[in-house]
Amino acid sequence: MSRYLDSNVIIYAVEGETSSPTTKSATELMKRGQFFTSWLTWVEAAGTAHAPGSDRRLAQYKALFQSDFLAVHPASNEVLLKAAEILGQYRLKPADAIHAATAILGECTEFITNDPHFKRVPELNVVLVSDLVSG
């Protein structure tokens, strides 16, 4: 069983308000099991941590992306071709189509996010972090 983590889940875990139920759920989730994501997540999540004065956040992202529980996959030609299909069929943003394609081609059993628009893609078993908070 492989589960895909969308960028927003990783951002919640690293940067979220520690008292927030969503942040707590994302952090707890990441303590349980093996996960899969794309290098695009690095760009989206850690990109702002390259700003001056963000050394601590950048170190947290680097540690997370080097952890044993997170497999990070490239946006290969195959992923980009699949993303183009998804973009046309389901009207996702290009970055979101890359996330969806990576999860589909990686045969992920769950796609964990807090963006409900991923539910438009029938090949994804979308699990919303907000549902984990309330459920």
Can you give the residue ranges of every domain in the chain?
3-134
Residue 32 has pLDDT above 80, yes or no: no
Tokens of 95: 């970055």
Residue 19 pLDDT grade (very low, low, confident, very high; cuts 50, 70, 90): low
Residue 98 pLDDT grade (very low, low, confident, very high; cuts 50, 70, 90): very high
Residue 57: predicted pLDDT: 85
Q: Are the C-beta atoms of residues 129 and 6 closer than 8 Å to each other?
A: no
Domain 3-134 has CATH 3.40.50.1010: yes
Residue 40: predicted pLDDT: 94
- Angle CA 135–1–38, to nearest 5: 90
Q: Are the C-beta atoms of residues 86 and 93 closer than 8 Å to each other?
A: no
Is the dihedral angle over the CA atoms 45, 124, 95, 78 positive or is it negative? positive
Residue 10 has pLDDT above 60, yes or no: yes
| Length in residues, the chain | 135
Q: Is the pTM of this model over 0.75?
A: yes
